[in-house]
Amino acid sequence: MAWKITPLLCLLVCVAAVGAARPGTQLLNVCMNARYHKEKPGPEDKLHGQCSPWKKNACCFVNTSIEAHKDISSLYRFDWDHCGKMEPACKRHFIQDTCLYECSPNLGPWIREVNQSWRKERILNVPLCKEDCQSWWEDCRTSYTCKSNWHRGWDWTSGYNQCPVKAACHRFDFYFPTPAALCNEIWSHSYKASNYSRGSGRCIQMWFDPILDNPNEEVARFYAEKSGAFPMSWLFTSGGLSIGTSALATLLPINIQG
């Protein structure tokens, strides 16, 4: 029996093959494989401060949320005040950024494998809502830093990050002239400045009101479906295609020739 392959059939078969080859196609309600993340998300009723929005379902432990609020915390020994005192309004965004990274179970569509000593996975190009990028930049533009990429290139000889030799301290808006530059560059493209607004269901909010439902669940679901991680799931079982050739012929424009 020979099948005449059509683009739609090819798409279904190819997507199924790619999904099977991946180590994990589970993109919803998951935690990263990183230093302080839980294996699976779950309730954490006593999450601290800016991390509290994730208390109903979190990838972080209570102690992680407490450390996220400290200067040069035990998490990463990172000094926000490496070019003088960071403005409190600016620091609040970095605390929220840390809470999102450590606590959110809704970053699955943007998790990528890495080979680093302190983590096996990272996030890449998470679409951050334009209001979040704008307010982050507005509140930080008058604080000072000496680098545009905070992931690498620091002097760690003192046990915490210091500016490398010949790296001059300037205002944030020198190293990050636009909100998009800040969001995209500061953590090696962990984030990508989105043109979508909060409430659109198309961008991740860095923070949300803890008394409200988590809006990022809808966003993660949209991008997981868009990525093809769940393509026409009604056609498949865990063992592969479960639909017969005669039924398939009624669904797809293929020619089955005996």
Residues in the chain: 258
User: Stretch 197-224: mean pLDDT, rounded?
Assistant: 95
State residue 142 phi and psi, 5-degree precision: -100, 0
Q: Nearest Cα to 203, choosing from 93, 91, 125, 112?
A: 125
CA distance 58 to 118: 20
Split at pLDDT 50, 70, 90, the class of 15 is: very low
Q: Where are the chain's structural domains? A: 1-10+230-258, 26-228
Select the more confidently predicted residue: 171 or 230. Answer: 171
pTM of the model: 0.79
CA distance 243 to 233: 12
* CB 129, CB 205: distance < 8 Å: yes
Split at pLDDT 50, 70, 90, the class of 118 is: confident
Residues in contact with 200: Cβ distance below 8 Å, sequence separation at least 6, in sequence order: 129
Three-class SS of residue 120?
strand
> pLDDT per residue over 236-256, tens digit each?
333 333 333 333 333 333 332
Split at pLDDT 50, 70, 90, the class of 230 is: low
Token pair belonging to 245 = 């050739």
> pLDDT per residue over 45-83, tens digit each?
999 999 999 999 999 999 999 999 999 999 999 999 999
User: Stretch 117-144: mean pLDDT, rounded?
Assistant: 96
What pLDDT is stored for residue 51 in this prediction? 97
CA distance 152 to 122: 14
Statement: residue 10 has pLDDT above 50: no
What pLDDT is stored for residue 116 in this prediction? 85
Statement: residue 20 has pLDDT above 70: no
Split at pLDDT 50, 70, 90, the class of 25 is: low
CA distance 223 to 189: 18
